[in-house]
Structure 1
Amino acid sequence: MSSPLISFTVTHRGTPYPLTLRPDSTLASLYVQLEGLTGVPPSLQKLLYKARLRNPGDDASIVEAGIKDGLKVQMLGSTPQEIGGLQAAENEQQRINRIMRERAMKVPVKVRSTVTSSSATLNYRFHSLEPLPHLPKPSSALELLTRISNDPAICHVMQKHKFSVGLLTELAPHENPELLGLNVNRGQAIKLRIRTDAYDGFRPYLWIRKVLCHELAHNEWGDHGENFKELDSRLNKEVAEFERAAREGTHDLGGREVYEPPEELEAEVYTHVLGGSGEPSISLNESREDRRQRVLEATMNRLRKEEEQLEQSCGTAGPSATETS
């Protein structure tokens, strides 16, 4: 009598794929079926579930590998087309970096200064960006890492404090579920958790930037002592003040405002009552300057509360802070 078939579901990027296989089917045959369904080749597939074998080989049966009836498996992996797009984006980033280096070499050295603004920009920055290629949409992850590395407020504090980071990359939620950020060897690499737990998108940009400020402070201080807290608070305040100054009148040649203030900052001055109308409570006699000050103060209060959560989810002060990528 033949063994009963095993039915299970593999989910890739939110799409479930019901499968029914014989118990003696090999993992290699499963990978081939998944390639036909998702376009992801076996070499780029990663299946997440509680396995019976720690590292089952491709010739192991699905039963030996721990796949059983009714099991739900999550699959990670990118198609060759997506990998090609990531490589193209990386090549473009390298091209931009090369142009910046060439321009910096052409800048004449001033007699009264040994460091030009261009060389400072090249020194105090993120020297390399690297998303995790085995996770979904690596090109989108690279775009997010590029955006935050070029954030004017972040560039401002990095040059002001002379921060240099070798590599800016991401943390995989399933590999580091307890961590939001990690600074390896005081700036050798900074890793940020930019994705949602379900891999169906990315976390809010302002929250990712907040985590980044926290990890940048670890360039100077390894633990979460008072010196670290003071620097971390200063970085967040400088980011908020930089953006406030930008909102107050910095324009480009076309007369357009350079920076659009995030709605989250303006929302800090609103007071909502549970069960009430939800209308903002703002004094009509309040001046524009007073309101701006309230926005800044409310923002800093929120940042201080968030810092407590960050310290609980930061791996920099722990053993993993000295690991290499």
Structure 2
Amino acid sequence: MSDTSFEIAFRGNTHRVSLPLDAPVSSLYARLEELTQVPPSAQKLLFRGKKIGASQEGVTLAEAGLRDGIKIQMLGSTTHELEALHETESEHHTKERILRERALKPRVKLRSTGSSSTSATQYRFHKLEPLGHLPDPPAALARLSKLASDPAIHHIMQKHRFSVGLLTELAPHESPGLLGLNVGAGQAIKLRIRTDEYDGFRPYLEVRRVLCHELAHNVWGEHDNNFKELNSKLNREVAEFEAAQAHGTHYLVDVRGTYEPSSNEEGEALVHVLGGSSTPLTDSIEDRRRRALDAATSRLKKQEEELEQSCGTTKPPSTTQL
């Protein structure tokens, strides 16, 4: 049988591959490994919305529905990226082991105004996991780590005793229209952290707002008034926590420099708070702080109404499924 030609799109590049139609599908995966350094096990080939499987024993390209001139979308991580991910995961597991060992050691009770070490290790994200078949898993893991260690997120998780088994990501092509999903009332939270074109990541503060929304689903499954009340409270507490840092209030965590105004409206309000020329001299610090929080709360309320339309968690916590 004569050779036929395919076009494979991968990370902005197009690779042309010529193979006989009676060749096994595995030969296409092997050829793509030579061109992209992505091993077959990490390759994901999409054609007409379907995945072309490399493990189907004896299936030919023709039997898989491929023909001359078709275009195939490829996703996957290179060998180098996978090695880097495994190294990062190894470091993460080592850190987890050390923390567990420390938690088991007997401690001398000390009087403290902060959260206990048990609380710090219990109310958190217990595992972070990017999707290995998407581009640059180490960068995705770094994004998830930033969310998990965000001082404001840590603050509300300790305050409300939120524990999440797994924090991972949603692939845009696999979950179109969804920005977040809470599975099993905190067994796992999935966030859409990437752009539609897989060429980068969505704005950090937007993803963090989705995370607050999904954390509220740890308690309430439906978007009812109970959920909305808790979700508004979480957003308000995040805004208050960060505003307090901007005003110099001291918490037991050093978060100086982490506050980022997320809109022109909020940024303008903070100019007043930080002593701009348009601030009346008679205004108290509390008045300035309240003005900034009012601006942030108004904006967050509008954004939350939009988030409800792109949240996949709609069932009660006991029956929430993917």
8 Å contact from structure 1 (residues 10, 17) kept in 2: yes
Once the two structures are TM-superposed, the CA of residue 96 in structure 1 deviates from its matched residue by: 2.1
Q: Which residue number corresponds to residue 298 of structure 2? A: 301
Per the alignment, do residues 210 and 63 of structure 1 end up closer, same or farther by CA in structure 2, a change over 3 Å counting? same
Q: Which residue of 1 aligns with 2:32?
A: 34
Deviation per CA, 1:150-205, whole angstroms, max 9, x where unpaired?
Answer: 10000000000010111111111122113211111111111111111221111111
Q: Aligned to 1:285, which of 278, 282, 292?
A: 278
Q: Is the 8 A contact 1:86 1:139 kept in 2?
A: yes
Q: Which residue pairs with 1:123 in the alignment?
A: 122
1:84-163 equivalences under 5 Å are 84-104=83-103, 105-109=105-109, 117-163=116-162
C-alpha contact (below 8 Å) 2:85/2:137 kept by paired residues? yes
Q: Which moved more, 1:259-268 or 1:185-194?
A: 259-268
How far the C-alpha of 1:48 sits from its partner, in A, is 1.4
1:109 deviation in Å?
Answer: 3.2
- Structure 2 distance, partners of 1:260, 1:181, is 24
- For residues 70 and 139 of structure 1, the distance between their equivalents in structure 2, rounded to whole angstroms, comes to 34
Residues 46-95 of structure 1 show CA distances to partners (whole Å, capped at 9, x for unaligned) of 11122679867253232332333443221111123222211211121222
The 1-side partners of 2:198 and 2:59 are apart by 28
Answer yes or no: is the 8 Å Cα contact 1:268–1:299 preserved in 2: yes
Q: Distance in 1 between matches of 2:19 and 2:164?
A: 48
Q: TM-score, length-normalised on structure 2?
A: 0.84
Give the Cα–Cα distance (whole angstroms) in 2 for the partners of residues 18 and 236 of structure 1.
49
The residue identity in structure 2 corresponding to 1:286 is T
CA spacing shift, 1:139–1:222, aligned 2, 3 Å = same
Deviation per CA, 1:251-291, whole angstroms, max 9, x where unpaired?
A: 89xxx9723321424554559xxxxxxxxxxx953348566
Verify the 8 A CA contact 2:6 2:17 in the aligned structure 1: yes
% identical equivalent positions? 52
Task: State the SS of the aligned residue for 2:300.
Answer: helix
Q: Is 1:218 matched up with 2:217?
A: yes
Whether the 8 Å contact between 1:51 and 1:67 is mirrored in structure 2 is no
Deviations 1:195-220 (A, max 9, x none): 11221111111111111100000011
What is the deviation of 1:294?
3.8
Q: 1:77: which partner in 2?
A: 76
Q: Distance in 2 between matches of 1:268 and 1:112?
A: 35
Give the unaligned 5+ runs of structure 1: 272-282
Counting only pairs closer than 5 Å after superposition, residues 309-324 of structure 1 correspond to structure 2 as 309-318=306-315, 322-323=320-321
User: For structure 1, which segment, 139-148 or 291-300, has the greater mean C-alpha deviation from structure 2 after superposition?
Assistant: 291-300
Q: Is the 8 A contact 1:269 1:294 kept in 2?
A: no
Partners in 2 of 1:291 and 1:110 — Cα distance? 37
Aligned residues: 307
Secondary structure of residue in 2 paired with 1:11: strand
